[in-house]
Copies of this chain bind each other. A is one copy, B any other.
Amino acid sequence: MTDMRYLFEPKSIAVIGASHDTAKIGYRVIENIVLSGYPHKVYPINPRGGEILGLQVFKALEDINNPIDLACIVIPAKLVFDAVKNCADKGVKIALIITSGFSEVGNIQEEKRIATYARENGLRILGPNIFGIYSAGVSLNATFGARDVRPGNVAIVTQSGALGASMIGKTAVENIGISAMVSVGNKADIDESDLLEYLLTQDMTKIIFMYVEGVREGERLVKVLNGATKNKPVVVIKSGRSAKGAIAVASHTGSLAGTDEVFDAIMRQSGVLRAESLQDAFDWCKFLSNNPLPHGENTVIITNGGGVGVMTADACEKYGVRLYDDVPALGEIFSDIIPDFGSTKNPIDLTGQATTSEFDGALNAALKSDTIDAVIALMSEVAVFDAENLPGLIENHYQHFKSQGKPILFSCFGGDKVEDCIKSCSTKGFPVFGDVYEAVSCLGGMYSYYNYLVNRSDEIAVADIQVETIEETVRRVREDKRNFLLAHEARAIMKAARIQTPTSQVARSLDEAVRHSEAIGYPVVMKLVSKDIVHKSDAGGVALDLENRDEVIDAYQAIIQSCKAYDPNAKIEGVDISKMARPGIELIIGARRDKTFGPIVMFGLGGIYVEVMKDISFRAFPLSRNEAMNMVKEIRSYPLLLGVRGEKKKDATGIVDTIIKLGTIIQECEIGDI
């Protein structure tokens, strides 16, 4: 594999299509490279030759005597193939094809031709249809976007070139420092996974933000993401959340597995923070890249306004931030500082009489306390509040808290002085917000990542199943030209996977039917066995809840008679006698091979509710037992499994076992697609 360092840290760049015309993208790109201070060799290529921005223009790539790491291609689509050929001949490592007009407008063939040629000749391609690359490590801005990028520690990978181009400006406005920014465009070759593999090891990058529209090699992406989130947070936006359709297959599991639901579940499983809006994504990136992870979950709100305090508590519940609620401990920490009519219950209310000096005292107390892990400070500009001292207070405490590994966030509310303070602090990278929901959303993102790290496990649960038996059973079904299993086949597979089913036996005579029933124990269920009659109920081939020998005899005779009448030519092999299951809660456990993400397991409430309530959870397989248990706990009706109205607690461990067994079948067995 070509090292992605040639992309992010090239030692030489050629710009194929460098233009003399300052209005053209071919000029814009070379201008950005030159003026952004890239320290290595840059070779403009243009058949007209001459000079651009003081650089000698080469008429062709082969005229350059030195090796080229990276080539930026900014020429019309129809000329790109030849340029790629030249790059391969010249031994260029990676070509950025900025040019658009390929698969995104239906020109799929040409894109394939280029990608195939490049692959066969050892050249890697980024694009086509991209805005270029920015890489802070080598002061490289090879894009047609804005020039001024603030270097920093956020890496951005975007599928949309337009979004990438405008994000250059936007991140500068938001004072977000960038380590690298790159768009993947049509992903003819290099995709997010390739880029992530590099970025997760790159020191300068502390957090990665990805904008995704569609995922191709999902299994690989998930693996790479799992590796990445172990080391640094990854924030993802995937647009098309609301897209309907996509899965037309009517199978139970399939019909529910709306792509976005699966994507969402897998991102959470991989510890990825999924943002809905760009604003949230930027806020989270900025906050997570500038602030330490907490040591625990005890968060304290300190406020001079009761109402804002309550709103913040609401926001904490929404975003999963846990409020420290040890009232005596809080009393001890804060009672010296809080006035009598204030509150030492969380939110800590300094009352409207508080000035920055009361805040100073309370924040010092929170800083000193070993049991407080994070602080949200809320300043409302009420009568006596000295807003002019606010910037100093914030800077001072932010630095102290940061040095002790304690996150602190400020939300300030008031007039011009306060607004100026928010802006100036924000420019310096301090976590100061104008709205409490914004602040708590950031802390919630951090705790989501914190909890992932605390609970993550590399353990992988795999069940011991008889792979050959299952494959053989399915092979025979295929030979029979069926894509559904008969009851005994399903049972054989479950047996091979050691999934418990009600005891059952096939009886080929009335005598055997009675014998099996007595052996199994009443009540039993009797079902016709005949591959000629698939809809057994319609044929009168099912009898439930048989409680004694007499009922078994009656049922046997009724079933045989009724089925013979239903289809005189059907070959009747006998009846299946099973233990009648006791009433309980109907659940569904599923597994399938997703086209994008590979093996997927699913769990949920069964019966008619699975369609209507969609109370289901998904995970990529394999997973840990712990994660499988999280699937079980995640559904809304989980309390039903704990036993409501005096019912017994259900066997959650048994569910986890079955999820893992089903997942293992899908992962291990070669059983083809349906």
Chain A residues at the B interface, C-beta cutoff of 8 Å: 25, 28, 100-101, 104-105, 131, 144-146, 148, 158-163, 165-170, 172-173, 211, 213, 237, 239-242, 276-279, 304-308, 310-311, 313-318, 341, 352, 380-383, 413-416, 418-419, 434-438, 608-609, 611-613, 615, 636-637, 639-640, 644-645
A552 to B324, CA, bound (A): 62
Q: Can you give 7 contacting A-B residue pairs, CB < 8 Å?
A: A158-B307, A163-B308, A166-B415, A170-B381, A239-B314, A278-B435, A612-B640
Q: How far is the CB of A114 from chain B (nearest CB, A)?
A: 18
| Contact between A278 and B311, CB atoms less than 8 A apart | yes
Shortest beta-carbon distance, A503 to chain B, in Å?
A: 27
Which 8 residue pairs are nearest across A and B when measured between Cβ atoms?
A169-B415, A160-B307, A162-B305, A242-B317, A277-B437, A279-B435, A166-B380, A239-B310
Query: Across the two chains, which residue of chain B brings its CB closest to A639?
Result: B612
**Nearest chain B residue, comparing its CB with the CB of A615:** B613
Q: Given A278-B435, A644-B611: A307 and B414 within 8 A (CB)?
A: no
Max count, chain B CB within 10 A of own CB: residue among A101, A162, A419: A162
- Chain B residues with Cβ below 8 Å from A148 are 415
A382 touches B173 (CB 8 A): no
Which B residues are in CB contact (< 8 Å) with A105? Answer: 341
Q: Which residues of B contact A435 (CB under 8 A)?
A: 277-279
* Contact A418/B169 with A144-B383, A612-B636 known, Cβ cut-off 8 Å: yes
Whether B242 lies near A307 (C-beta < 8 A) is no
Docked Cα-Cα span, A28 to B385, in Å, equals: 13
Which residues does chain B contribute within 8 Å of A310, judged by CB atoms?
213, 239-240
Which residues of the other chain, B, contact A611 by a CB distance below 8 angstroms? 639, 644-645
A166–B213 Cα distance when bound, in Å, is: 42
* CB nearest neighbor in B for A143: B383
Contact A437 B276 (CB under 8 A): yes
A144 to B382, CA, bound (A): 8
Decide yes or no: A242 and B278 within 8 Å by CB, A307-B160, A381-B146, A636-B613 being known contacts: no
Contact assessment for A352 and B311 in the assembled complex, using a CB-CB cutoff below 8 Å = no
B162 near A308 with CB under 8 A, answer: yes
A414 contacts which of B166, B304, B313, B644 (Cβ < 8 Å)?
Answer: B166
Residue of B nearest to A147 (CB): B415
- The interface residues of chain B lying within 8 Å CB-to-CB of A170 are 381, 413-415, 418
- Minimum CB distance partner of A281 in chain B: B435
Q: Please, which residues of chain B bring their CB within 8 A of the CB of A169?
A: 381, 414-416, 418
With CB as the reference atom, state the residue of chain B lying closest to A611. B644
Q: Please, which residue of chain B has its CB at the minimum distance from the CB of A411? A: B278
- Give chain B residues whose Cβ lies under 8 Å from the Cβ of A104: 341
Are B415 and A165 within 8 A (Cβ)? Answer: no
Cα distance A435–B275 in the bound complex, in angstroms: 13
- Bound-complex Cα distance A375 to B271 (A): 37
Also in contact, A242 and B416, with CB within 8 A (given A165-B383, A383-B28, A639-B611): no
Q: Contacts of A413 on B, CB cut-off 8 Å?
A: 163, 166-167, 170, 278
Task: Please state if A173 and B438 are interface contacts (CB–CB under 8 Å).
Answer: no
Q: How far is the CA of A316 from the CA of B383 in the complex (A)?
A: 41
